[in-house]
């Protein structure tokens, strides 16, 4: 089976997870401000030139022959795509900013990959589908409303600034949702599930906001 050739290196960094949960409990980095989306830098963010690496401690090594993308759930045309099949879909290029919940933002990232809208057109979500759940090869999960996944600037990217996305940044394929904090842009994407119900993911059940709008500074769960 293809999964037998996928190697998971490292282990969940428990201290890191505990630290980030504590950030949520304490409301660390919150400024209490909001801003219009027309303001390029959201509240509490600082601009950086590098691309910091953030993960749970596991970085999957996924050879092309073993890679699969499963798209299923509340869709009329569920698909399982091998790498060559996915790469044969219509290609899209976008330039977007990144806003990380740890308060850094990086401008003008050039992506190439497949538009979420093209994938949606392929699988044909049913009217009952309201949410999208991302499942990653490292077992990470996160959730977004289908309306946000269907935005024109959302894509599944294999290239960043003219080069294949590195393993540490989620290669061979990651989600890019520019208008939400970047933990919503799942790395090492394996499965995209269209769902009737919302299903909060790894960080959402650990004190982070279920939606994550940077301009409304939705870093953490309002009920904490």
Q: What is the pTM of this model?
A: 0.95
Structure letter (DSSP) for residue 121 = H
Sign of the CA dihedral running 167, 172, 178, 181: negative
At 189-214, the pLDDT tens digits run 999 999 999 999 999 999 999 999 99
Distances (CA, A) of 163 to 111, 112, 157, 177: 9, 9, 11, 19
Structure letter (DSSP) for residue 195 = E
Provide the residue ranges of all domains of the chain, joining segments of one domain with +.
2-216
At 100-136, the pLDDT tens digits run 999 999 999 999 999 999 999 999 999 999 999 999 9
Q: Kindly state the tokens that stand for 218.
A: 């939705």
Q: Cα(67)–Cα(173) distance, rounded to whole angstroms?
A: 10
At 148-179, the pLDDT tens digits run 999 999 999 999 999 999 999 999 999 999 99
Q: Which of 46-55, 124-133, 211-220 has the lowest mean pLDDT?
A: 46-55
Q: Kindly state the tokens that stand for 162.
A: 């003219």
Q: Taking a C-beta distance cutoff of 8 angstroms, is the pair 70, 134 a contact?
A: no
**Bond from prior residue into 148 cis (ω within 30 degrees of 0):** no
CATH of span 2-216: 3.90.420.10
């Amino acid at each position: 089976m293809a999964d037998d050739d996928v190697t998971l290196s490292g282990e969940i960094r428990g201290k890191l997870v505990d630290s980030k949960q504590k950030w949520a409990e304490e409301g660390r980095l919150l400024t209490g401000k909001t801003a219009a989306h027309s303001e390029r830098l959201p509240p509490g963010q600082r601009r950086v030139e590098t691309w910091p690496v953030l993960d749970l401690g596991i970085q999957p090594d996924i050879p092309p022959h073993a890679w699969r993308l499963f798209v299923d759930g509340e869709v009329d045309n569920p698909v399982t795509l091998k790498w060559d099949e996915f790469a044969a879909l219509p290609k899209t290029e976008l330039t977007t900013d990144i806003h990380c919940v740890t308060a850094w933002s990086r401008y003008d990232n050039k992506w190439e990959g497949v538009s979420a809208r093209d994938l949606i057109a392929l699988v044909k979500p049913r009217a009952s589908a309201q949410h999208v759940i991302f499942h990653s090869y490292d077992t990470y999960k996160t959730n977004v409303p289908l309306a946000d996944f269907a935005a024109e600037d959302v894509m599944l990217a294999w290239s960043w600034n003219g080069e294949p996305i590195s393993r540490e940044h989620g290669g061979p394929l990651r989600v890019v949702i520019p208008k939400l904090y970047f933990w919503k842009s799942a790395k090492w994407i394996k499965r995209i599930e269209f769902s009737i119900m919302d299903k909060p993911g790894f960080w959402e059940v650990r004190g982070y906001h279920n939606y994550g709008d940077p301009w409304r500074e939705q870093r953490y769960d309002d009920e904490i």
